[in-house]
């Protein structure tokens, strides 16, 4: 109690205004975060006690600028914090800096959640390369230690590494331990084995990676070294010169549809950008007409689903396996059409936010999910894992069937199933392109995107908008949806929706149409309706 009391005194609550615990946890300017870290240390301790397992605390603001930071909790299987606990996180942060008030709330929660004072707690803490990160991590650590919690200090890590590390500690199948060397060995060995299984004498073209001047640059050097005999990886924006996420990184490339600074695009046929904490990935290249072309999250869904359904067919397992793609309303309509009608793979649409995609993907034996912004992964059910193992070892099957099953089995090891992992996704993408004999141009030509436009609208109260049907329709305020329907009906192949952002104080408008001019026009018309009905 005394230690916690002095910590509250040392880092007093600096503001009553803060964004709630959302998809990305808490995010704000780094200088107003210290007091929040005390409460996170407490919350993580309680979560660990309830789950009787290790939980994670990741300090990062992902693609946001260096001056920002953030924090989020990771649950024992490496997944995002359970949604009911987001409420406790918010309540803890609304409490005053009074040790008695805070302690009363902690005791109430302990009774409610049946936590005994002597229950053990263990937390793994990691952070990205922001200057503010070590201090924020030390505050979480001190708050948790004040409650006798054991700390594993992982220091610098990518977000997906910490998710995976937490899963390892809680899973006996994964030896209950994590080392960075084991992690990159696992990914790189799977990559090499998939190449060895292929009787091709092709070689890889060099890959240029824009690492957003973030933590990914440091971690990618391991992969570059291990795979040096297979693929040449050149890392740009590695933090030696530029600023974190400044005119570079996956978010910049996707939003501005522009090449990142600091990468000699013309020297490469394949380039990609990751974001500041290495959980998003976007590929890009210059096409024959000298146009800058990007391959976003929708394209990864298509590529991964294509590869996995093809291998399931070759292994004669396709009819026994439920494979599906999970998207949000921001997925380009043409990608959805292509997956359903050409690839004959089912598609589910869920609200924005990785936790929703991840949750839905668990419904499938092979659940592939990506947000259009490049965050995503693949989940494989235990049943699917047993099936492919059995098929790969079944002497009654043909060699081709066994090989395909073995390829799926190996591919599973190339994936970080806990969360989108840009480094794992790069290796998976490279291997699929290699095995299917594709380059970026051919991959892009699977289908043409419908032109689209996204707008941000500043409103007085964005919570006035309520949505249903995976955020594709509004039920409040009155008449908004009717007005949107009326506008959309004037555009052939038009599609549009509005929703309040969960990370910014704005309403997002999305519109799609046959031409860019029409998509822009539709978006602006809807923006006006939003302004009229909300402000
Ligand atoms: C349209 C869009 O890109 N939305 C992003 C953004 O959420 P909003 O609720 O739209 O602000 O940030 C989320 C967290 O990073 C990310 O999961 C999501 O995809
Ligand atoms: Mg990120």
Sequence ranges of the domains in the chain:
2-174, 182-295, 297-419+440-444, 452-534
Going from the Cα of 434 to the center of ligand 1, the distance in angstroms, rounded, reads 31
User: Atom 12 (ligand 1): residue with closest C-alpha?
Assistant: 503
Judge contact between 269 and 256, C-beta under 8 A: no
CATH topology of domain 182-295: Alpha-D-Glucose-1,6-Bisphosphate; Chain A, domain 3 (3.40.120)
Reported confidence tier of residue 261, pLDDT bands at 50, 70, 90: very high
pLDDT (0 to 100) of residue 15: 75
Judge contact between 388 and 315, C-beta under 8 A: yes
User: Atom 6 (ligand 1): residue with closest C-alpha?
Assistant: 503
Candidates 3.40.50.300, 3.40.50.150, 3.40.50.720, 3.40.120.10; CATH matching 297-419+440-444: 3.40.120.10
Q: State the CATH class of domain 452-534.
A: alpha beta
pLDDT (0 to 100) of residue 203: 87
Half-sphere exposure of 486 (CA within 13 A, CB side): 8
Phi, psi of 55, deg, nearest 5: -120, 165
Residues surrounding ion ligand 2 at CB below 5 Å:
62, 275, 277, 279
Provide CB contacts within 8 A for 225, sequence distance 6+: none
pLDDT (0 to 100) of residue 201: 77
pLDDT (0 to 100) of residue 117: 84
Whole-prediction pTM value? 0.96
Judge contact between 391 and 383, C-beta under 8 A: no
Reported confidence tier of residue 148, pLDDT bands at 50, 70, 90: very high
Judge contact between 213 and 242, C-beta under 8 A: yes
- Residue 206 marked as a ligand binder: no
User: Atom 10 (ligand 1): residue with closest C-alpha?
Assistant: 501
Judge contact between 29 and 68, C-beta under 8 A: yes
Candidates 3.40.50.1820, 3.30.70.20, 3.40.120.10, 3.90.650.10; CATH matching 2-174: 3.40.120.10
pLDDT (0 to 100) of residue 172: 79
Lowest mean pLDDT among 99-113, 172-186, 287-301, 378-392: 172-186
The residue annotated as part of the active site, out of 48, 62, 132, 273, is 62
Query: Does the pLDDT at position 358 exceed 90?
Result: yes
* Domain 2-174 shares a fold with domain 297-419+440-444: yes
Q: How far apart are CA 3 and CA 6, in angstroms?
A: 5
pLDDT (0 to 100) of residue 14: 83
Reported confidence tier of residue 504, pLDDT bands at 50, 70, 90: confident
pLDDT (0 to 100) of residue 17: 67
Please give the average per-residue pLDDT across 515-535, as a whole number. 96
Please give the average per-residue pLDDT across 279-291, as a whole number. 96
Test site for ligand 1: of 25, 60, 373, 510, most ligand atoms within 8 A of the Cβ: 373
- Give the atom of ligand 1 at the shortest distance from the alpha carbon of 328: 19
């Amino acid at each position: 109690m005394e230690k916690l009391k002095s910590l509250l005194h040392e880092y007093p609550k600096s503001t009553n205004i803060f964004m709630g615990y959302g998809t990305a946890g808490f995010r704000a300017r780094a200088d107003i975060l210290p007091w929040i870290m005390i409460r996170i240390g407490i919350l993580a301790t309680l979560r660990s006690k309830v789950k009787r397992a290790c939980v994670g605390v990741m300090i990062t603001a992902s693609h946001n600028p260096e001056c920002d930071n953030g924090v989020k909790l990771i649950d024992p299987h490496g997944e995002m914090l359970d949604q009911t606990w987001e409420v406790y996180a918010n309540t803890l942060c609304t409490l005053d800096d009074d040790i008695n008030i805070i302690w009363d709330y902690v005791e109430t929660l302990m009774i409610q959640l049946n936590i005994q004072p002597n229950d053990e707690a263990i937390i793994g803490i990691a952070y990205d390369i922001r200057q503010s990160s070590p201090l924020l991590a030390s505050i979480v650590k001190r708050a948790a230690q004040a409650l006798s919690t054991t700390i594993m200090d992982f220091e610098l890590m990518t977000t997906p590494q910490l998710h995976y590390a937490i899963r390892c500690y809680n899973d006996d199948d994964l030896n209950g331990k994590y080392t960075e060397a084991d992690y990159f060995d696992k990914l790189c060995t799977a990559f090499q084995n998939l190449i060895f299984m292929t009787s091709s004498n092709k070689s890889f073209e060099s890959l240029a990676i824009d690492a957003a001047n973030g933590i990914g640059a440091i971690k990618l050097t391991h992969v570059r070294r291990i795979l040096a005999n297979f693929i040449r990886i050149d890392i740009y924006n590695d933090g030696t010169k530029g600023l974190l996420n400044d005119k570079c990184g996956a978010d910049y490339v996707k939003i501005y549809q522009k090449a990142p600074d600091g990468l000699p695009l013309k020297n490469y046929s394949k380039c990609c950008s990751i974001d500041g904490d290495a959980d998003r990935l976007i590929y890009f290249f210059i096409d024959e007409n000298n146009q800058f072309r990007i391959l976003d999250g929708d394209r990864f869904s298509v590529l991964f689903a294509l590869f996995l359904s093809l291998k399931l067919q070759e292994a004669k397992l396709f009819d026994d396996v439920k494979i599906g793609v999970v998207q949000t309303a921001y997925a380009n309509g043409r990608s959805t059409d292509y997956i359903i009608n050409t690839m004959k793979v089912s598609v589910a649409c869920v609200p924005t936010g990785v936790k929703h995609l991840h949750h839905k993907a668990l419904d499938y034996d092979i659940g592939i999910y990506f947000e259009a912004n490049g965050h995503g992964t693949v989940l494989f059910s235990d049943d699917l894992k047993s099936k492919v193992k059995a098929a790969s070892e079944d002497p009654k099957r043909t060699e081709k069937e066994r090989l395909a099953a073995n390829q799926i089995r190996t591919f599973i090891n190339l994936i970080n199933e806990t969360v989108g992992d840009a480094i794992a996704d790069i290796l998976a993408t490279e291997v699929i392109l290699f095995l299917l004999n594709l380059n970026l141009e051919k991959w892009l030509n699977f289908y043409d995107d419908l032109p689209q436009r996204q707008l941000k609208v500043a409103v007085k109260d964005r919570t006035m908008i309520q949505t249903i049907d995976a955020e594709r329709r509004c039920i409040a305020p009155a008449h908004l949806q009717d007005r949107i329907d009326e506008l959309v009906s004037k555009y052939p192949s038009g599609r549009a929706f509005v929703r309040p952002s969960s990370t910014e104080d704005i309403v997002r408008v999305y519109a799609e149409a046959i031409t860019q001019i029409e998509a822009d026009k539709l978006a602006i018309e809807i923006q006006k309706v939003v302004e009229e009905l909300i402000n």
